[in-house]
Amino acid sequence: MAGWLALACLAPLNARAAVAESDFDKLMALSLTELIETPIITASRQSETRDQTPSHIIVVTREQIRERRYKNLADLLEDMPGVDFQRGTKSSQYNQFAVQGSLGPHRLVVMLDGVRIGHPSGGNMPIAENLALYHAKQVEFLYGPAAALYGADAVSGVINIITDRGSRGAGSWVEVGAGDFDTQETSFMAGYSGERMAFTVGGHRQRSDRAPLDRYYPNDFRKVDADPDSQRVVPAAEREGYVGDISSNSLFARLDLGDDLTFGFYRNVFRSLTSTGDPPATALYLRDSQWTTTSETTYGKYRYTLGADFSGEVVVDYSRMQVDPHSKYNNSFSNFSDGYSYVLGERIGIEHNINWRFDDTHRVQAGLGYQKHYAIETASLPAPYDTDRGKSEQGYVYPNTTIPMQIYDAAFENVSMYAQLQSEWDEAFSTMVGLRMDRHSDYGQTVNPRLGAVWRLNPQHVLKFLYGEAFRAPSPEESLSAFGIFDGSMSNGLYVGRGFRVPNFNLDPEEARTTSLTWDWRPQANLNFVANLYHSRIENLIVTRPSTQVDAIPGAVLINPETKGNAGVQRHYGVDLMAQWRFKIDEAWSGDLWGSASWIRGRIDEGDGVEWEISHVAERKLKLGTTLRYRDRLSLTTQVLAMGDTTNGRRRAPAPSLQLAQTCDADGAPERCRTDGYTVVNFHAGWHKLFDGRATLWLDIYNLFDTRYYAAHGSGSRTFWDMPQQPRTSMISLEYRF
């Protein structure tokens, strides 16, 4: 969780440079002009500079990832402007976050070398230690709707992790580390680069028991009778102690044959406990009650050039995400018996993109694509899902009933085409007009435009305007997901079910519209200010709502069921202010000073005459950092995260039996409850060129001043309102380069 790179254009260093040369020497040797002129890929599927794209983009380089200790994508996101990040709050995705007011990973497209590695069917996925950045040459973050280029789910933005070819730039290395709470981490990269072939392979493994939070937050994790309202009561005296361990691993491989053909494979696994985010009254903290997610993506790319002004690329990819069928709950949803879950998502896609410059002023990008998806969503099963059988052959009945259990699946397709015209009218002014059409087999046709302009007033001032639209088709997780419990009681000959979510097969896609204005001011070569103002409107917002389908399960009556539904309209607006100053103190000392300040306001109109604040978002955020370097021998990085009060998912006073010391707005207005703000400081130190110049010793201290703080949660009646966070933790790592 090291510092964030606030300069919106910082780009990768020379990837061909020798490994023996210091990263810090290379970093300080670059002029601002060299940084600006480095190509960006995410912006518009082509190589272009920061000043050519109307999008608000942040690019983080390999050297900054390493120096600021972004070990994984979660670390990087937490430090980005306009991002609210709540750690360890949900078992199914672990970390909850919002990007400029848009909540959840299913509204953010995550890519590796331009290929999607997110949930194949558009649902939630873990963005945590599993998405380690050991293979990243740079990470590009495009803010705002980008459906005109990248299709569904590109609502809050696009993240593209760019990897390197062969042994260029990073060379081969291995890093091992250990720290508090039995934390262990290992990562490596190796490669070969020949005249016609290059091969890269890397991986990581991580595990941690994490802090015993019942020791640091005794009021929140005190032992109580487990859910006295349940048929099965676990007395406090017989309760287990708190556990919260996690683990992850990944493997990456890339093969380049010449400059035209690339094959890649990426696999990541994340394991957390299904009691994550649950208070003692509603869950048993059992190490064998785990939620294990495995994601795999295999892709191939063929690039071709027909003359100096025409090029194209064909991409074929297959991805699969599976929740291990032995993943299980033991909580009030399963009546404190083992309840198993199984989730499967698959996608196969092919896409053809072209770039054509037909004169000195105009350039066209266009593409055609086809994706085929399949997904399975199960309820709480009484036994593990048998992957050797079809869903209709499982033979399960709902526990404590004779009712056959319903298991839902979905198969759907999407055909897309897009075109974008970019025109450079003169050296100072350029425009962009784009349009994309998608035809979804379930939700019909959607058209999304994209309009932009860039005005370079002078070398110090650049103004950008962008209007974009995006759509998000309901994921199978939202439309099909179903769970709840039967305790065996009956009413009028029907089994009585409680705590149920029922499917909704009539959801409409979300539609987002965002307008942004970006001002980039560079008064000096080593100083940069960026201001990004934005306004977003999301229609048909999908949220959890009360359901009238009390008879959704034949043979049962459901008490107060819930379902996913379209809530109405969300509107939010905000501003992110960013700055970076690169400086030299004397011949020995140099450094970076960077930071961001964010402000946002937003409301959700559910269509019933009542409006609510958007959830899991702090109105004010301040993120600051500095890195000091002593020659190429020592680097010291300090990061400060100051978050204001954050809205959580609750709308009424908390139940004292579940958690103490929680407050809500008391003015009578229909507002969400709030989680108190906090300030956390992280510190990272690196001693470089040890062991004949090949090794670096790292010291990482998170939550340096041992602050007790909470992350906004409250997404359900059986969860914490505010999730207690980790105390001070430290790690020592040794990195050795070959």
Tell whether the model's pLDDT for residue 15 goes beyond 70. Answer: no
Closest CA to 452 of 516, 364, 509, 519: 516
Partners of 602 in the beta sheet? 572
Mean pLDDT, to the nearest integer, of 583-588? Answer: 92
Residue 334: what pLDDT? 79
Q: What is the DSSP string of 463-487?
A: EEEEEEEEEEPPPHHHHH--EEEEE
Q: How far, CA to CA in Å, does 698 sit from each of 248, 303, 324, 567, 701?
A: 21, 40, 35, 48, 10
For residue 229, what pLDDT band results from cuts at 50, 70 and 90?
low
Instruction: Count Cβ atoms within 10 A of the Cβ of residue 390 and give its class: 0-12 exposed, 13-18 middle, 19 or more buried.
Output: exposed
Q: Is the pLDDT of residue 48 over 80?
A: no
| Cα atoms in the 13 Å half-sphere on the side-chain side of 334 | 20
pLDDT band (50, 70, 90) for residue 52 = confident
User: Given a cut of 50, is residue 544 above it in pLDDT?
Assistant: yes
3-state helix, strand, coil in the chain (%, to 5): 10, 50, 40
Between CA 674 and CA 677 the distance in angstroms is 9
Which tokens go with 358? 């037909």
E strands, 324-407, where? 328-329, 339-340, 343-357, 362-377
Q: Each residue of 266-307: pLDDT tens digit?
A: 999 999 999 998 999 888 999 999 999 999 999 999 999 998
Element (H, E) at 699: strand 695-702
Q: How many angstroms separate the CA atoms of 674 and 645, rounded? A: 6
Q: Are 132 and 202 contacting, i.e. CB atoms less than 8 angstroms apart?
A: no
CA gap 697, 129 in Å, rounded = 21
Q: Which residue has the higher pLDDT, 57 or 683?
A: 683
Highest mean pLDDT among 15-19, 133-137, 378-382: 133-137
Q: What is the pLDDT of residues 91-143, one digit of tens each?
A: 888 999 999 999 988 899 999 999 999 899 888 889 999 999 999 999 999 89
Burial of 360 (0-12, 13-18, 19+ CB in 10 A): exposed
Question: Which pair of tokens denotes residue 579?
Answer: 């700055």
Q: What is the mean pLDDT of the chain?
A: 86
Question: What angle is formed at CA 122 by the lines to CA 614 and CA 619, rounded to 5 degrees?
Answer: 20
pLDDT for the residue 9: 32
pLDDT number for residue 676: 93
Beta-carbon-side half-sphere exposure of residue 420 (alpha carbons within 13 Å): 29
Q: Just give the CATH number of 23-481+505-546+568-737.
A: 2.40.170.20
pLDDT in tens, 67-78: 999 999 999 999
Higher pLDDT, 702 or 164: 702
Q: Which of 171-180, 374-383, 460-469 has the lowest mean pLDDT?
A: 374-383
Reported as a single tens digit per residue, the pLDDT across 499-514 is 888 999 999 999 999 9
pLDDT of residue 556: 93
pLDDT attached to residue 34: 34
For residue 392, CA distances in Å to 339, 396, 471, 504, 636 come to 19, 9, 32, 20, 58
**Angstrom distance (rounded) from CA 435 to CA 450:** 6
Please give the Cα distance from 14 to 632 (Å, whole number): 17
In this structure, what are the phi and psi dihedrals at residue 693, rounded to the nearest 5 degrees?
Answer: 80, 5
Structure tokens that stand for 561 in this block: 């069921």
pLDDT exceeds 80 at position 629: yes
8 Å CB contact between 42 and 160? yes
- DSSP bridge pairs for 559: 498
> Cβ(278)–Cβ(285) under 8 Å?
no
pLDDT attached to residue 170: 59
Instruction: Let me know: does 564 contact 543? Beta carbons within 8 Å.
Output: yes
Q: What is the pLDDT of residue 438?
A: 92
CA end-to-end span of the chain: 26
Task: Identify the burial level of 218 via C-beta atoms within 10 angstroms of its C-beta, where 0-12 means exposed, 13-18 middle and 19 or more buried.
Answer: exposed
24 pLDDT higher than 70: no
pLDDT number for residue 54: 87
- Is the pLDDT reported for residue 738 higher than 70? yes
Residue 30, pLDDT above cutoff 80: no
- The CA distance from 103 to 125, in Å, is 13
